[in-house]
Amino acid sequence: MKRNWIIITLLLLALPTMAQNHEPQVVDKVVAVVGKNIILQSEIENQYIQYRLQGMAEGTGKEVRARILEDLLLQKLMLNQAEMDSISVTDEQVEAELNRRLQWFMSRFGSKEKMEAQLGKSMSEIKDEVRQASKDYMLQEQVQAKIMENVTVTPQEIKDFFYNIPKDSLPTISPNYEIVQIVKRPPVSIDEKLQVKERLYQIRKRILEGESSFSTMAVLYSEDPGSARQGGELGFTGKGEFATEFENVAFNLRDGEISDVVETQFGFHIIQLIEKRDNMVNCRHILLTAKVPVEALEKAQNQLDSVAQLIRNGDMTFEEACKKFSDDDSKNNGGYLSNAATGSNWLSLQDLRELEQNYPEYQNLAFVISRLEVGQVSDPLPMTTNESNDAFRLIMIKRKIDTHQANLKDDYNLIQSWALGQKRQQAIGKWVSNRAAKAYIRLDETYKDYDFYYDWKFQ
C-alpha cells in the first residue's frame, strides 16, 4: 500500500459539508478509539466521497476506506503521542498556519467569495472548522519529525533498493532537462518610482479623508492579487514572513493606523494595522509596482538578440555569454535553472508545470522547452521575475535525458527519494507497532477484516 507522508489533508478536513451536499447523510457512530481520540464513521465517509470527487479513489470502496481509516488511526495515535510528550503549539502559531492554509485554499477556488459560495459557509465558519485541524496538523508534524529525525539512506542501501525492484516493474521516466538561461533585468527608472509613490500617496489621502475605505481601495488598486480580493488583508503573521522593511513598519503601527509609503523588493506599499496579538499582526496593504519602461524592455530584448547571435555563430559559448551579460544570480553557476522544489538542476515538463503555479520565473517554460532541441538557443523571451518585474531571457537546453526505464546512472536522485520513502515507511511501521502495544486502541468489529498496512494490535 502506498503511503502519503503528508499526515493530514486539511483540504479534505475543511470541506466536510461539500461531501454532504452530494451524498445522503450516514448514521454516525464511533468506529475506533485511540487513547482519548475517537474516529467517527462520518469522517471516513466524508473523506471517501471527497476522494471520489477528486478522482483519487483508486481500488474498491473497501480498500479506499481501509486506507482512509488507517490514515485517521495514524493521525490519532500521533495526537495521543503529542499529548504524552507534552508537545504544544501556541494560539499564534495555529492562527498563522490557519491563515496560510486558507490563503492557499482561496487561491485554488479563485477568491474568498467563491470559496464561501462553494462551501455554503462564511469565512468565520470555515475558520472555526479548520482551526482544530490546523492545530492537530502541527502537533502531528512534530511527532512525525521526531520519528524521522535519524532516518537516512546510504549509497549501498540505494543500490540494494534499486536492484530489488523486479526489472519488469521498473517505471518509465519522462524526459528530464538541464536548462540554462541568460537574463536581462532592465532597471526601473527613478521617474517611474516617483510616479508610483505619488499614486499611493493620493490613495492614502483619499482613505484618510474618508472618501473610501482601505479595503475598497485595495480591491480597486492593489497589484497583489492574493490579498486584493480580501480587501488587502493578509491574515495573522509573525516576524520573518514578509520583507524586513514591511515588517519594521507593520509591527510598529497602532490599531487602524495607516503607514506612510513603504518600499520593498516587491514594490511600494501602504499598510493598515487591523489587530496585533503578542508577536503577530494582521494587516491590510495596498501594493503598487513601478513598471520597467517599454524603451528599456526593447533595449534588453535587442541586447539578447545580439547575444543569441554570438552564441549561434560560435563566437562565444553560452556559459561565457552568461557570465558576461546575465543580470541573474544564476550566472554564478553557469546559468542553470534549478528546481525550486528539489534543488536539483534536472527538470521534467511536469516539474515545470507544477512550479509555474507558484513561481513567476517558471511561467511558460514547459511550452518553450517542449519545442527546443538540445543546444538550441531560444529567441529572447519575456518573463516575470519573482519580484514581479518584467525582464527578458534566453533559454537553452544543456542536456536532456529522453524517456527511459529507470536506472541508477540517470535517476540516482529519484531512486534515492524512493529508497528514503520506503525507509521512512518502515520507521513509521516500527513506531506504530511499538506505540500500539502501549496505547488503548479499539476498533469496531465491522472494520476488523479490513486489510491494514501496519500492525495495530487492536484490543
Grid cell locating 412: 540516482
Q: Where are the beta strands (DSSP E) in 6-106?
A: 30-34, 37-40
The mean predicted confidence, pLDDT, of the chain is 86
Centre a 10 Å sphere on the Cβ of residue 445 and count the other Cβ atoms it contains. Answer: 7
List pLDDT tens digits, range 144-203.
Answer: 999 999 999 999 999 999 999 999 999 999 999 999 999 999 988 899 899 999 999 999
Of the options 1.10.150.170, 3.30.70.1900, 3.40.1190.20, 1.10.4030.10, the CATH number for the domain spanning 10-153+414-447: 1.10.4030.10
What CATH number was assigned to the domain covering residues 190-288?
3.10.50.40
If pLDDT is split at 50, 70 and 90, which confidence band does 230 have?
confident
Count of alpha carbons within 13 Å of 64, Cβ hemisphere only?
16
- 180, 336 contact by CB (below 8 A): yes
List pLDDT tens digits, range 342-363.
Answer: 778 889 998 898 888 778 888 8
Centre a 10 Å sphere on the Cβ of residue 395 and count the other Cβ atoms it contains. Answer: 22
**Predicted pLDDT at 59:** 72
Mean pLDDT of 34-49: 88
- Residue closest to 232 by CA, chosen among 259, 202, 205, 194: 259
Mean pLDDT of 271-291: 90
If pLDDT is split at 50, 70 and 90, which confidence band does 27 have?
low
The answer for residues whose C-beta is within 8 angstroms of residue 257's C-beta and 6 or more apart is 272, 273
Name the architecture of domain 176-187+292-402.
Roll (3.10)
Mean pLDDT of 63-90: 91
60 or 186, which is more confident: 186
Do 190-288 and 10-153+414-447 have the same topology in CATH?
no
Of the listed ranges 72-86, 99-113, 179-193, 217-231, the least confidently predicted one is: 99-113
113 or 88, which is more confident: 88
User: Which secondary-structure segment (H or E) carries 21?
Assistant: none
Of the listed ranges 116-120, 205-209, 259-263, 389-393, the least confidently predicted one is: 116-120
**Predicted pLDDT at 5:** 33
If pLDDT is split at 50, 70 and 90, which confidence band does 255 have?
very high
**Domain parsing of the chain, residue ranges:** 10-153+414-447, 176-187+292-402, 190-288
**Predicted pLDDT at 78:** 94
